[in-house]
Amino acid sequence: MRLHLLLLHLLLLLCSPFPRIRAQSSEARSLDVILQEYAFRALVKPKTGTIYNATSHLPSNFTGVKIAALRLRSGSLRRRGVVPSYNEFEIPIGVIEKPYVKRLVLVYQNLGNWSNRYYPLPNYTYLAPVLGLLAYNGSNLSATDLPTLNVNASAEPIKVKFLDVRDPPLGAVVRCVWFDLQGSSNFSNVTGGNTCSTSTQGHLSIVAETSVLPPPPPSLPPPVSPAPSPPSPPPVVPKESKSSKKVGVIVGSVLGGIVFLVLLCLLVLWVLKYKQTKKIQQMERAADAGEALHIATVGDTKAPAATVTRTQPTLEHEYVP
Ligand SMILES: *[C@@H]1O[C@H](CO)[C@@H](O)[C@H](O)[C@H]1NC(C)=O
Ligand SMILES: *[C@@H]1O[C@H](CO)[C@@H](O)[C@H](O)[C@H]1NC(C)=O
Ligand SMILES: *[C@@H]1O[C@H](CO)[C@@H](O)[C@H](O)[C@H]1NC(C)=O
Ligand SMILES: *[C@@H]1O[C@H](CO)[C@@H](O)[C@H](O)[C@H]1NC(C)=O
Ligand SMILES: *[C@@H]1O[C@H](CO)[C@@H](O)[C@H](O)[C@H]1NC(C)=O
Ligand SMILES: *[C@@H]1O[C@H](CO)[C@@H](O)[C@H](O)[C@H]1NC(C)=O
Ligand SMILES: *[C@@H]1O[C@H](CO)[C@@H](O)[C@H](O)[C@H]1NC(C)=O
Ligand SMILES: *[C@@H]1O[C@H](CO)[C@@H](O)[C@H](O)[C@H]1NC(C)=O
Ligand SMILES: *[C@@H]1O[C@H](CO)[C@@H](O)[C@H](O)[C@H]1NC(C)=O
């Protein structure tokens, strides 16, 4: 019984990474829903194009998070952008939303020290808070649980100029990270030391890669090779090598998982078989208690016979491990 429980735990452990990733993403989504509600509370008879700081509307258990709301006419956003900027976000002309709404509200999020909790990124360290920009239908300001609109910066990308970017650890690679609303992330280059770009809605930050791979072993010269060494391969684009590494990791873990599952199944089968033979042995023992003698055929006659000697005679000095 206990072994069965152990196997169940193992299976659960095996399957848990996938739901956990989804759970984190759904946690971030429910945060978006909460922040939309509180950001809209700052919009009481709002002036179009005015940024409303809604941080003070948040309950005290969100200390460290900052939010704001900006209501715009859709046409004005497309033709003029947001002048000069919306906190750290520089929104150029040509931004359109889908589906079309007459008025929209852009909710700004600065997750501060909550960044790592809602957007955990293994092997990376945040050098700036996670900032979010999400668009909602701005026609009904008391609406809650609104779906996010898809934003498309068709002409120029939206730029995010982070304030106070922390210094990276020595030698670490600094990158922009962007999260979509499904929880997947993508990396791009930082420009001007503090600026990231995006052509759509979502969350962004600046990170440093903290797990530095060990340097490749120095390549040894070929032992006997009079021929000129072949030209070294062109440097691989980091993005490609990263994604192929990612694919490798995924394939590796899938294969590993399959092998593990097969081994697990074998173990389960073995345990079941072991239990069965044990049960049969018990039954045999119970039958033996009745001293039923087997009928053996000797030549033409059938005669009762003892099957095996119950106790094997062993010599005292014989050591059986
Ligand atoms: C909004 O208000 C909070 C305090 O309520 C302040 O800490 C924060 O800096 C303000 N944000 C902006 C962008 O002015
Ligand atoms: C803060 O409290 C509100 C209810 O007042 C709750 O909905 C929310 O989940 C809490 N947030 C955190 C981060 O615990
Ligand atoms: C962020 O900092 C505030 C105080 O400044 C604290 O109350 C809150 O618990 C912190 N949040 C996290 C996720 O550590
Ligand atoms: C983090 O880095 C370690 C060591 O380089 C690696 O084994 C691990 O798979 C990485 N984790 C993720 C989520 O990439
Ligand atoms: C936006 O909200 C208004 C008022 O609730 C509604 O009439 C309109 O259909 C909504 N637009 C979209 C695209 O959902
Ligand atoms: C706006 O939303 C609130 C809350 O969902 C709802 O009670 C109200 O009827 C809506 N108003 C309009 C004009 O759609
Ligand atoms: C954004 O707009 C451009 C130009 O209108 C278009 O080519 C592109 O497919 C759009 N992207 C999305 C995600 O809708
Ligand atoms: C990640 O970004 C690159 C370059 O911007 C793009 O080509 C690629 O499609 C993106 N991947 C995802 C999953 O969004
Ligand atoms: C990012 O920067 C690296 C080196 O600084 C460069 O090789 C690479 O092409 C850049 N990637 C993009 C998408 O600009």
pLDDT of residue 183: 85
Residue-wise pLDDT tens digits, 127-148: 999 999 999 999 999 999 999 9
Q: Kindly write down the DSSP assignment for every residue of 26-90, as one continuous string.
A: HHHHHHHHHHHHHHHHT-SSPPTT-EEE-GGGS-GGGTT-EEEEEEEEHHHHHHH-EEEEETTEE
Cβ(194)–Cβ(167) under 8 Å? Answer: no
Nearest CA to ligand 2 atom 12: 61
Q: How far is the CA of 61 from the centre of ligand 2 (A)?
A: 6
Residue-wise pLDDT tens digits, 39-61: 999 999 999 999 999 999 999 99
Nearest CA to ligand 6 atom 13: 140
Ligand 7 near 85 CB (within 6 A): no
- Sign (positive/negative) of CA torsion 121, 85, 34, 148? negative
Choosing from 58, 62, 114 the residue with most ligand 3 atoms within 8 A of its CB, the one to mutate for a pocket test is 114
Chain centroid to Cα 227, Å, comes to 49
Ligand nearest to the CA of 249: 4
Residue-wise pLDDT tens digits, 108-128: 999 999 999 999 999 999 999
Calculate the dihedral angle through the C-alpha atoms of 97, 62, 120, 259, rounding to the nearest 10 degrees. Answer: -100
Residue 18 has pLDDT above 80, yes or no: no
Ligand 6 near 142 CB (within 6 A): yes
Ligand 5 near 48 CB (within 6 A): no
Ligand 1 near 109 CB (within 6 A): no
Calculate the dihedral angle through the C-alpha atoms of 168, 173, 178, 179, rounding to the nearest 10 degrees. Answer: -90
Ligand 6 near 140 CB (within 6 A): yes
Q: How far is the CA of 94 from the centre of ligand 7 (A)?
A: 11
Residue 72 has pLDDT above 80, yes or no: yes
Report residue 147: phi and psi, to 5°. -75, 150
Q: How far is the CA of 144 from the centre of ligand 6 (A)?
A: 9
CA 161 – CA 192 distance, rounded (Å):
9
- Per cent of the chain over pLDDT 90 is 55
Cis peptide leading into 223, omega within 30 of 0?
no
pLDDT of residue 103: 97
